Amino acid sequence: MTNPILSNWTTPFEIAPFADISDDDFAPALDQAMTAHNAEIDAIAANPDTPTFANTVEALEAAGAQLDKVLSVFFTVAGADSNPKREELQRVFSPKLSAHFSGISSNKALFERVADLWARREDLKLTEEQARVLMLTHRGFVRAGAALDGDEDARMQEIKSRLASLGTSFTQNLLADERDWFMDLTEQDLQGLPDFVVNAARAAGAEKGAVGPVVTLSRSLIVPFLQFSPRRDLREKAYRAWAARGANGGETDNRDIAAEILDLREERAKLLGYDNFADYKLETEMARTPDRVRELLMQVWEPAKARADADAEILTRMMQKDGVNGPLEAWDWRYYAEKRRKAEHDLDEAELKPYLQLDRMIEASFACANRLFGLEFKPLNVPLYHPDCRAWEVTRNGRHVAVFIGDYFARGSKRSGAWCSAMRAQARFPKEQAPIVINVCNFAKGDPALLSYDDARTLFHEFGHALHQMLSNVTYESISGTSVARDFVELPSQLYEHWLEVPEVLAEFATHAETGEPMPQVMLEKVLNAANFDQGFQTVEYVASALVDLAFHDGDAPADPMAKQAEVLAGLGMPQAIGMRHATPHFAHVFAGDGYSSGYYSYMWSEVMDADAFAAFEEAGGAFDPERAKALEDNILSTGGSREAEDLYLAFRGRLPGVDALLKGRGLIAA
């Protein structure tokens, strides 16, 4: 009987047949797919013919189709709907996959063919895109250690395997802490909380099998609890649990794992001839060097900290008026900031939230994509991996463009945060394939589901990533969609957030959940006027995390990452009442894998561009200017990694931006 993962999928648009796949199918499918991939690689490496782009690079692009199917299905469900069996499979798969791909990157015969092509690249008459793919392929082999020999080669394979296992352990420990902790609430504890928080707490209690409402460590529940609960003792208990994720001792403690990861990264970089891991990692990014990253972050840190310090004084006085003595603490900031927002902007999130219905915000994100790029969205009724998921077919001028899947609600089986992934990326080689893209979020369930303004911004952010995948128009999958420099990949997502704040978008789609009435003009103006509220806090918690990440990797690996974190924060003069957005034991961006390691700054780097890019629309015909939209698609959204990121931005804008646009956009300097 054919394994359903490896069968020919006859589902609509060849979406994975989730209903036919069981957890027992994954391990044999992986083994079979890796065997097939190895045979393909061996055939390429042993080809007696002179290396050509077609028989080497294109052959590599075409290889591994079965393995792609297995991994796309497995990692989709492992991240968004985990269970003990899938967690065990992840622990088994991580070193196996690391060894598999390390074996490819260390295949000397294969590397010799790629190196031969690289040496003759000027004579190969390649297209611009082919030349780019050859460069990236050669660079990838070199950076993976293909040029190493003997003991150094063997040690590199050991390091990569161990890092893969450690990253999996870090992620699963964090998921366990987030899944297992919750705080029971009595009916009395609910007093003072708005209805949407109460309803979310009751839904979370039902999901946990508790006897009543609970607070969990899901951001969509704990943040509004910290904003609205008048019970300082409960806020402190909840905040301390949230801050302690990954640092509770026992089997799920991530501190030793983080230290070992940093040691191994440093060793890996030095094996490849770099002074430290940051030098290695940033070589391929727009920023290029740690010094350029630190320069940007410090340009933002100083005005952000000044704003945060001034805000802390105001919040402290508010707290003292309530009869609370002592310093402002981290579990106080959101509560008094929310009170201040209501007082200064007359904006109450409890009054705002009924206007931000999940379904209407999804419609808004689709409508903007339609006006900008001509995309249309039609619901699809197909089996998916969880009942919460929904799907749409994306078309343009009647032509199929993509399948888009949305998985929006928080649950214990889903890791925290929000992300976009492609189960299948766009490509035209070795055959035409349209993308299947997933947005995963962690919003609180409700009837109807209501979002905070930050939630709505997250929805638009992830849909910006989805557009980058859906509008991709390149030949080779290796440079498709979001396969770009890490500090460029957040540009489309952060740029798309701006359309949430376009007044005509909110006027049309921000409608009341009960009455259907549009958001009153007065409230709309308050929302837009308060868009930069508390930016001192938000910027400080982010930049502090980015600077700690950089410090971990820009020099010798710290023996004690927690001590290094404390040292960096003390040197910055980190405000007492603001915690890092991601402290080391739960800094999954940095320790779950190499993706954002030494690269958490990239959100800020991209924001420099997104503020400037949206200004290009405003300077033209407005947010929906068709010429700017076409330029954005032609030069950024459709091009993937086919050219250097800096060149793509220059083609769109004509120049590179400075940091002032970002500071003005965050309200940290006068506009």
Active site residues: 462
Sign of CA dihedral 210, 215, 219, 225: positive
AA letter at 584: T
Question: Is-contact 95 161, C-beta < 8 A?
Answer: yes
Rounded Cα gap, residues 671 and 664, in angstroms: 5
CA 358 to chain centre: 20
Q: What are phi and psi of 437, to 5 degrees?
A: -120, 140
Task: For residue 625, give Cα distances in angstroms to 280, 368, 369, 507, 597.
Answer: 40, 12, 12, 19, 37
Sign of CA dihedral 587, 592, 594, 596: negative
CB atoms < 10 A from the CB of 657, how many? 18
Estimate the crossing angle of helix 535-553 against helix 255-271, to 10 degrees: 50
Beta bridge partners of 183: 215
Rounded Cα gap, residues 524 and 507, in angstroms: 7
Which class for 622: exposed (0-12), middle (13-18), buried (19 or more C-beta within 10 A)?
A: exposed
Rounded Cα gap, residues 353 and 381, in angstroms: 29
Question: Is-contact 271 146, C-beta < 8 A?
Answer: no
Residues 6+ apart with CB under 8 A from 549: 587, 589, 590, 596, 597, 598, 599, 600, 601
Structure tokens at 83: 């269970």
Question: Is-contact 568 554, C-beta < 8 A?
Answer: no
3-state secondary structure of 666: coil
Structure tokens at 96: 């196996």
Rounded Cα gap, residues 113 and 55, in angstroms: 10
Short-list 365, 621, 377, 352, CA closest to 508: 365
Rounded Cα gap, residues 427 and 402, in angstroms: 12
Short-list 583, 575, 489, CA closest to 545: 583
Segment (H or E) for 21: none
Rounded Cα gap, residues 432 and 480, in angstroms: 13
